Amino acid sequence: MAMQLVYGFIFGFLSSVGFGIITNNPRRTLVPAGIVGALAWIVYILVESINHGLIMPNLLGAVVIGLLGNLCAILVRAPVNIFYVPCLVSLVPGAILYDSMKNFTLGKDALAAYGFVKALTVGMSLAIGFIIAETIANKIYPRLKRYLLEKESK
């Protein structure tokens, strides 16, 4: 398990940074985005080892991205979306969507529909995770922001 977490952290970091490079993220956001992506992946592994469903690991992973992403957005001063996009890449239902569409092309309709519903489930749990995180963040972070601004103006 410990091994899995260490490798998970490293590869989660690398894959978030890699996607950040492809999407041409501003350079100052790459390392924070990588760390947030890696932490989200760790949470995913931990939750998945307790609950094998599709929904909970993705939802909690997205909550972590949402909370930390908003925090980074305030600290680094960048739009939140810049952190969401690269961090999401390891959680996102890309492979499932591809698999379902492959079955669709092959004419295996039942498998295609099953995969598509799975992709929608993952996507929905991620989206709901973001909504939860943003609701929390909107309550907490404005205070932090004000505090930082005050500190800066002093």
Partner 1 sequence: METITATEIVTLCGQVGTILLENGAETARVENTVEYVGRAANLPVVCHATMTGIFVSSEKDAATRIFKVRVGDFNLQKVDDINTLSRQFYRHEISFKKLKKEVQSVDHESRDFSWLVKCIGAGLVSMPPMLLFKATWGDLFIAFFVGIIGYLISQFVAHHNKTPYIPVALGSLAISFIANVLGDVSIAHDANYIIISALMPLVPGVPMTNSLREIIERNTISGLVRATDAIMSGISIGSGVIVGQILMQTIWGG
The span from the CA of 136 to the CA of 154, in Å, is 28
Return the half-sphere exposure (C-beta side, CA atoms, 13 A cut-off) of residue 94.
5
Binding mask 39-78 for partner 1 (x = CB under 8 A): --x-----------------------------------xx
Is residue 35 within the footprint of partner 1 (CB under 8 A)?
A: no
- Asked if 101 touches partner 1 (CB under 8 A), the answer is yes
Going 107 to 108 to 112 to 113, the CA torsion angle's sign is positive
User: Contact at 8 Å (CB) between 25 and 87?
Assistant: no
List residues binding partner 1 (CB under 8 A): 4, 7-8, 11-12, 14-15, 17-26, 29, 41, 77-79, 81-82, 85, 88-90, 92-95, 97-106, 119-120, 123-124, 126-128, 130-131
